[in-house]
Amino acid sequence: MEIAVIGTGYVGLVTGVCFALLGHRIICIDRDVDKIDELAAGRITIYEPGLEEELQRQQEERRLFFTTSMTAVSCADIVILAVGTPQKADGESDLTDLEAAVRSMAIYLSGHTYIMTKSTVPVGTNEQIEKWIKATTNEAFDVVSVPEFMREGSALSDTLKPERVIIGARNAHASEAIAALHRPLTEQVVETDYRTAEMIKYASNAFLATKISFINEMANICDKVGADVVTVAQGMGMDRRIGSSFLEAGIGYGGSCFPKDTHALLQIAGDVDYDFKLLKAVIEVNKDQRRHIRKVLLQELESLSGKFIAVWGASFKPNTDDVRHSPVLDIVRHLLKEGASVRMSDPAAELNFRRSLDHPLISWHTDPLEAAQGADAVCLLTDWPQFLSIDLHKLKAVMTTPILFDGRNAIKQEQLVDTGIRYVGIGRPGMR
């Protein structure tokens, strides 16, 4: 098939590469000229393991092309919409880019085309997309909602082996055509209508965010009653009705999806006069969790003014350079406000972080031990494997005060033995 993908960010680029790998001819379109130039030259503009090599392979096979021109849509059997739908100040989804992309591609539709929406969009948006297209062209088309569930850091394998594919369509013919496209990837397909498909995406992310906020509240209680939240989560997770994933206590969720999608769902509920009390609490708990570290550091160091704090990790999770809504941004802002100097290290996200937050009291270090040099505390905020393998005896030797705040509960008891490090995790009061 000829497939055009609009938007070459984390979702669009991975989708394009994976469908090329399945043998389709893909043309990726983006309005960002620099990004398209880089991609056309075989260089990816994000950090995603394995993606650059696979992109180059598909380019060599002449199945993957890049352009800034929407005219490419005229040859496509399927157009995939993968532009960003960021959060507006009031929490609602900003559909400006999506509307611009739809209206500008619709001009070039030629012959029957399936329009597949992968961007996360509020309930009712796929109907709106139909209206935008109809206002521009008389060509035949079918809109199909196929929300995306891939995770940054494991995007290729998630896309090639999805746990399920959700297909929201207006008619059986469109649904079957898109199901056939995904059949080489999985048999687990849910065929439904637009609104249900749109809702499945929000419900899934809101539920995962709820699990995280739940275990974070449990961690805070564990701290007070002397229980260990890691073992509590392990014991809970063995029950298949609960499951062990997303039960890791820490500094809270971040990233380009959970914060925005939980706010958007609150807005969707609010629009139909429904007070989603549980989700409001989930968001509130997540906000509080980011403030927890400031409290801990003040308890340990009395004041942060003039102190050197090393921060390991900037991205919202390991194996990505994405810092959108990363809890680290908020935490570093708090530290700076208290007058601390922040010595940072991250294997991939320095550039993106600096674009969001640059400050004379922040310094960057490739080597995490160099960042810890002379520090009054080290805060492990993103659990990159590089940080977890550091010898804690060496860490103690370079620090002024050997306090290690583990915002991901990623350090093991054995690593601490005889190091003399004062360890503070989240909900692990017994760990020394």
The catalytic residues are 257
Binding string, 285-304, against ligand NAD, x = CB under 6 A? Answer: --------------------
Residue 39 CB, shortest distance to ligand NAD, in Å, is 10
H or E element in which residue 145 lies: strand 141-145
Q: Residue 180 burial (CB < 10 Å; 0-12/13-18/19+)?
A: exposed
In this chain, which stretch among 148-156, 177-185, 330-338, 347-355 interacts with ligand NAD, using CB under 6 A? 148-156
Asked if residue 9 binds ligand NAD (CB under 6 A), the reply is yes
Residue 66 CB, shortest distance to ligand NAD, in Å, is 11
Residue 348 CB, shortest distance to ligand NAD, in Å, is 15
Rounded Cα gap, residues 141 and 143, in angstroms: 7
Could you tell me the two tokens for 268? 């969707």
Among 117, 119, 159, 262, binds ligand NAD (CB under 6 A): 119
Rounded Cα gap, residues 91 and 266, in angstroms: 8
Asked if residue 82 binds ligand NAD (CB under 6 A), the reply is yes
Among 84, 327, 368, 402, binds ligand NAD (CB under 6 A): 84
Asked if residue 122 binds ligand NAD (CB under 6 A), the reply is no
Site for ligand NAD, residues 85 to 104, rule: CB under 6 A: 85, 97, 100-101
Q: Which is nearer to ligand NAD, 196 or 373 (CB)?
A: 196
Q: Are strands 78-81 and 189-192 parallel, antiparallel or unpaired?
A: unpaired
Asked if residue 162 binds ligand NAD (CB under 6 A), the reply is no
Asked if residue 28 binds ligand NAD (CB under 6 A), the reply is no
Nearest to 353 by CA among 383, 321, 382: 321
Between the alpha carbon of residue 326 and those of residues 38, 225, 355, the distances in Å are: 26, 30, 13
In this chain, which stretch among 2-10, 109-117, 234-242, 347-355 interacts with ligand NAD, using CB under 6 A? 2-10
Asked if residue 8 binds ligand NAD (CB under 6 A), the reply is yes
In this chain, which stretch among 80-88, 184-192, 339-347, 371-379 interacts with ligand NAD, using CB under 6 A? 80-88
**DSSP structure class, residue 374:** T
Between the alpha carbon of residue 318 and those of residues 83, 121, 282, 313, 385, the distances in Å are: 23, 26, 23, 8, 8
Q: Which is nearer to ligand NAD, 259 or 402 (CB)?
A: 259
Q: Which is nearer to ligand NAD, 178 or 230 (CB)?
A: 178
Among 30, 217, 223, 228, binds ligand NAD (CB under 6 A): 30
58 contacts 17 by C-beta, under 8 angstroms = yes
Q: DSSP string of 269-287?
A: HHHTT---HHHHHHHHHHH
The residue written with tokens 């801990």 in the block is 296
Looking at the DSSP assignment, which residues form a beta bridge with residue 3?
26, 78
Rounded Cα gap, residues 398 and 371, in angstroms: 10
In this chain, which stretch among 8-16, 129-137, 272-280, 423-431 interacts with ligand NAD, using CB under 6 A? 8-16
165 contacts 175 by C-beta, under 8 angstroms = no
The residue written with tokens 């941004």 in the block is 329
Q: Which is nearer to ligand NAD, 5 or 399 (CB)?
A: 5
Among 1, 2, 22, 31, binds ligand NAD (CB under 6 A): 31
Residues that bind ligand NAD (CB under 6 A): 6-12, 29-32, 35, 82-85, 97, 100-101, 118-120, 148, 150, 152, 256-257
